[in-house]
Structure 1
Amino acid sequence: MLSVALPTISSELGGSSTEAFWAGTSYLLASTVLMLIWGTLSDAFGRRMIILAALLVFALGTILCGVAHSWTMMLAGRTVQGIGGGGIVSLTTMLVTDMAPLRERARLYALIACIWTVGTATGPIIGGGLSKANTWRWIFWINLPIITISFIGIAFFLRLSQKHRSLSEKLRLFDYPGSLLFIASTTTFLIPVTWGGTQYSWSGWQTLVPLILGVLGIVLFAIYEFSITSSKLPQARLIPSSIFANRSACIGYVSSTVHGMIVYSLLYYMAEYFQTVKMYSPVIAGVASLPQSLTAAPCAVVVGIIVAGTGKYRWALWAGWSLVCLGCGLLVLLDTHTAVAEWIFLGAVSGLGLGLLFPSINLSIQASVSQQEAGIAATLVIFFRSLGQALGVAIGGTIFDNRLRANLKNSVENAPSSIMELMERLHQLPPDDPTSLQIRNALSRSFHVIWIVMCAFAGLSLFLSILMKEYDMNQEHQSDQVFLLKDMGGPSPETTAGQSSRV
């Protein structure tokens, strides 16, 4: 919703293209880095209290953005929003593991994926419409009623059992050294990934130094987590190392990262294709993205129904990656002359595959780990998908910039050295102008390389998914926090904490 409104917001707040870039990046960084921390806090203090806190933090960030009169305030608000948003996303996923046994979660994750894809599809259209009407602040204000309804519903109706612990016992459940090392290393890694090739070159020290330090920090974090003795403090680790001892789970996390890369590469660069090559307005570009977004929702629902009924999930992984690979490959047919009916079909193929993968990747990982660790395993799926988002936009941006410069050099005389100058020149020319056609053809060929690379990643994920083992979905439901039936003769927290139930 925000991306299409950034030019209007920049114009009113007097921001530069760099500040506009950070409006999206600050949210992604904050949500990705802290989502695992929210999960650990909820293990100690309870899901209900922590998800309410996350909603309040998100609301605070929303208000800051809504009243912002400078880019400093806007970026602060977006960062606060990201902190709260990371908690909302991760805890929603964990609540599903508390709510239902593994096989029944298929329907719930399909519903979440359906809502996410519909929101993703309609967001750019709503954001474009509001910015065009000079009411961009409602992009933020529109969140508040939804936050209020969610807060009231959770506060009054969400009841979970929880082991009784003293405050000192709760504080000991938190992995302080690991959390600090994780936050520092992932932040140091993600910042250069997001600004490499845009704000700074990939070969510059501003990118290479933090990137190397971030990788070293992540390695140290992994060594630290593996070295912790679990016999004395079994829950005092941010990420249980036993999750990564399973080959299928590791493949699942790689798949989740690639899934995030492809989803956001297609969302971001398909919108760029429609606005630059096809010369559509931001609102129409948002509408043009609907074939990809809306086809994903029904596919996610189908997966949920079939997996819940059959207990089999690998078919969805194989079918999903096959369709994504085929769909990304078909996108190379897009050019300046592609008709509406053609790009609708070409975009829908990859959308079908991505929809199949949303619930199936998560379920395949949860089936391969201990059900006591299903909550953190599910949160890691969201983390790696968010990591893939950052990598996808960065990889796509690097490919696009390099190919565009080469294509312009070979086909356009006196081409501007800056991409911003190129876009300004393109919009000043009539669509049928020979120079305009040359620039748009160069842009189209540059996008082709992105689709080819994403096709290769999808093919790799298809091969890896064949190596995954299919586990029994009828596993015991194990959770320290399970749902209670308040005032209906339901079990008490003391008798249900840590209980198991079999499908």
Structure 2
Amino acid sequence: MVVDAEKDKPRGAKGKGSAFWLSFVAVVVSTFLSALDLTAVSTALPTITDSLHDGDDFVWVGSAYVLSSTAFLPLCGHLADVFGRHLTMLISIVFFALGSALAGTAQSMNMLIAARTIQGIGGGRIINLAETIMSDLVPLAERGLYQGILGMTWSFASGIGPPIGGALAARGAWRWLFYLNLPVTGIAFALVMVFLQVRTPTGSARDKLAKVDWLGNCIIMAGATLAMIGLTWAGVRYPWDSAKVLTPLIIGFTLIITFFVYELKVPTEPTIPFEILRNRTSLGGFLATLSHGITSISMIYFMPVYFQACCGASPLTAGVDMLSTGLVIAPWALACGASISILKKYRPALILGWIFMIVGFGLLSTLKADSSLGAWVGFQFIISAGIGIYYPGTIFPILAPLPVSYTAAMLAFLAYLCSFGQTWGITIASTILQNQLKTKLPESFASQFPEGVSIAYAAIPELHKLDGSLLNEVRVAFAESLAVIWQTMIGISVLGGIALLLMKEILMSDFADENYGLVVSKESADEKTASKDDEAPRNVTVVEV
């Protein structure tokens, strides 16, 4: 229940002018750009690994992007509050473009990983800022449809990313996967520069820099980086009990704990206000987001492995086979947002998405090497519906109970958890696949791959050389190994569903943070001032009872 001291007072017209729609287009294009790049790499990984002759560090091509975006997200939220959304978004797009150019010219795996790190700094911030700007422009009570459109954009880009990556990989042109980002980046930069005219905090650069919690952000960046390095190496490059895994894991998680203690005790303007973690509904939303990040990325990254290893698909065909995922996720994301706008409730949609994900992963775990086309298309349909619902859905329980002044910090932490979950998802699934293939593949085939090399991505380019009997054994081994991944995701989805029990249905606010809204003309500002003169000051107290 929400106590709103003056909820009957009108907030003015809800119509949206051209300035809003142009700003919204800028946000949507930026979101599409970041999401497309994150997923397009999945089907091209075997080709990239073979081209650069380095299977040892394959997992870093995906993980470096997620790691850098995760490490910088808390700082991103703070910078967006201090320097404004407009400048921060432009800088993020520049980082993304620079990383794309460097990735396209990479001559080694190390160079590609470094480029993907730079890309991730920009790409992660773009997604986070898109959510934050949308929260500034549209009150939470009205945001369902717009959030659904953002979710649909992310989902659609995620769906067409694998076939685009596959098509380019099949032609030996995987570098164009990164080069093609450059013209789209240019369009996004121009749209943001010209049309995203939102308010920027006043004050000198020195005063703004003084407000940033530099020490806290350094602690969380170092902690997140070390923790994810350990997670990325664990079970794939080095055993879990190796010092090279345990050392960064222990130091990383110690620093993360230190960060939370520091934030609670020291800074006057903390990076993460702890009120966002004390509220059970917001906490449930954060935990559901973490679960969704783990499960969704595992499906998007490793279904192409099923198509290429078990079905004999080329990278292009595997990407096309993944279209049923993207084409389902997108409309369900939009439907989720629209239903929340109409019903003014978020729990029914999240419960439905949770059911779809558990059932979907359960069905995926039954896939065999010779399963029919109807089986894997139908199973993808069900799980993709759940993934699509959760893309926009978890934002509402997180934002509903708390003041709008916390929006940037909450969404930065939300994106941090989602990215951290994606890193866990890639790591957990990669570790399971590596370990299962070691035991299930025929010894005569597995022995050719040295220790520390990803068997899955090294083996796929070699499958066409195998005869019928051995090829069938290898495909069965891949199907059985992938089934263990899907079974694990069932358990993680169940844990995410438990988070729903923490949530209450909170009345969503009908106002946004005016400190970061659209810049209005003098005439519009005068009208707004005159309108406010007729109203008593609106003080809203939001509490959960």
Same fold by TM-score, threshold 0.5 exceeded?
A: yes
SS of the residue 2:362 aligns to: helix
**In structure 2, what is the equivalent of residue 376 of structure 1?**
409
In 2: Cα distance, 1:73 partner to 1:223 partner: 36
Moved more, 371-380 or 385-394: 371-380
Q: Is the 8 A contact 2:170 2:314 kept in 1?
A: no
**Amino acid aligned to 1:480:** N
Residue 210 of structure 1 deviates from its aligned partner by 0.6
Match of 2:266 among 222, 228, 241: 228
Q: Which residue of 2 aligns with 1:481?
A: 516
The Cα shift of 1:306 comes to 1.5
Residue 12 of structure 2: aligned partner: none
Alpha-carbon distance change, 491 to 17 in structure 1, aligned in 2, over 3 angstroms: farther
2:272 maps to amino acid:
I
Cα contact 1:27–1:82 (8 A) shared by 2: yes
Question: Which deviates more from structure 2 when the two are superposed, residues 319-328 or residues 40-49?
Answer: 40-49
Q: Secondary structure at the match of 2:422?
A: helix
Choose from 300, 305, 326 the match for 1:267: 300
Instruction: Choose which of 421, 441, 446 in structure 2 pairs with 1:416.
Output: 446
**Deviation digits for residues 165-197 of structure 1, max 9, x if unmatched?**
233321221001101101111111111111211
Change beyond 3 A, Cα 1:102–1:500:
farther
Contact kept in structure 2, 1:316 and 1:360, CA below 8 Å? yes
Please report the TM-score for the alignment, with normalisation by the length of structure 1. Answer: 0.91
Counterpart check, 1:427 vs 2:464: yes
Partners of 1:260 and 1:389 within 8 A in 2? yes
Q: Deviations over 1:84-111 (max 9, x none)?
A: 1122111111101111101122222211
Q: Give the gaps of 5 or more residues in structure 2.
A: 1-39, 450-454, 541-545
Within the candidate set 395, 407, 418, 1:362 is matched to 395
Q: How much identity, in percent, do the aligned residues show?
A: 32
- Within 1, Cα distance between the matches of 2:460 and 2:171? 23
Q: Are the aligned partners of 2:167 and 2:319 in contact in 1 as well (CA < 8 Å)?
A: no
Question: In 2, Cα distance between the equivalents of 1:146 and 1:307?
Answer: 31
Kindly indicate whether the alpha-carbon contact (under 8 Å) linking 1:260 and 1:386 is maintained by their aligned counterparts in 2: yes
Residue 266 of structure 1 and its aligned partner are, at CA, apart by 0.6
Kindly indicate whether structure 1 or structure 2 has the higher relative contact order, using CA contacts under 8 Å at least 6 residues apart: 2
Query: Partner residue of 2:118?
Result: 80
SS of residue matched to 1:301: helix
Tell me the distance in 2 between the aligned counterparts of 1:491 and 1:223.
Answer: 46
Match of 1:460 in 2: 495
Q: Is the 1:277–1:443 Cα contact (8 Å) retained in structure 2?
A: yes
- Please give the per-residue CA displacement for 1:13-52, whole angstroms capped at 9, x wherever unaligned: x441124432222212111111221221121111111111
After the TM superposition, which residues 51-66 of structure 1 pair with which residues of structure 2 at under 5 Å, given as runs?
51-66=89-104
Tell whether the 8 Å contact from 1:57 to 1:80 is kept in structure 2 after alignment: yes
Q: Which runs of 5+ in 1 are unaligned?
A: none
Change (3 A) 1:73 1:441: closer
**Code of the aligned partner of 1:206:** K
Deviation of 1:427 after TM superposition, in Å, equals: 3.2
For residues 149 and 367 of structure 1, do their structure 2 counterparts lie closer, same or farther at Cα, with a shift above 3 Å needed? same
Per-residue CA distance 1:286-345 (angstroms, 9 max, x = gap): 111222222111111111112112211100110000110011111122102211112111
- 1:491 Cα deviation from its structure 2 partner: 6.0
Picking from 134, 138, 144, the partner of 2:176 is: 138
Task: State how far apart, in whole Å, the 2-side matches of 1:281 and 1:272 are.
Answer: 10
**1:161 and 1:494 in contact (8 A); partners too:** no
Q: What is the aligned residue count?
A: 489
TM-score by length of 2: 0.84
Kindly indicate whether the alpha-carbon contact (under 8 Å) linking 1:2 and 1:127 is maintained by their aligned counterparts in 2: yes
Query: In the alignment, is residue 469 of structure 1 matched against residue 507 of structure 2?
Result: no
Q: Is the 8 A contact 2:43 2:304 kept in 1?
A: no
Match of 1:218 in 2: 256
- The partner residue of 1:27 within 44, 60, 65 is 65
Is 1:285–2:315 an aligned residue pair?
no
Once residues 320 and 249 of structure 1 are traced to their aligned partners in structure 2, the CA distance between those partners, rounded to angstroms, is 18
Q: How does 1:45-444 map to 2 (within 5 A)?
A: 45-228=83-266, 233=268, 236-408=269-441, 412=442, 414=444, 416-417=446-447, 418=449, 419=455, 423=460, 426-430=463-467, 433-444=468-479
What's the C-alpha RMSD, in Å, of the aligned pairs? Answer: 2.4
Report the secondary structure of 1:146's partner residue: helix
3-state SS of 2:173 partner:
coil
Decide whether aligned partners of structure 1 residues 425 and 365 sit closer, same or farther in structure 2, where only a CA change above 3 A counts: same
Letter in 2 for 1:2: V
CA distance in 1, matches of 2:351, 2:230: 34
SS of the equivalent of 1:2 reads: helix
Return the offset for 1:203.
1.3
Select the residue among 41, 44, 53 that pairs with 1:2. Answer: 41
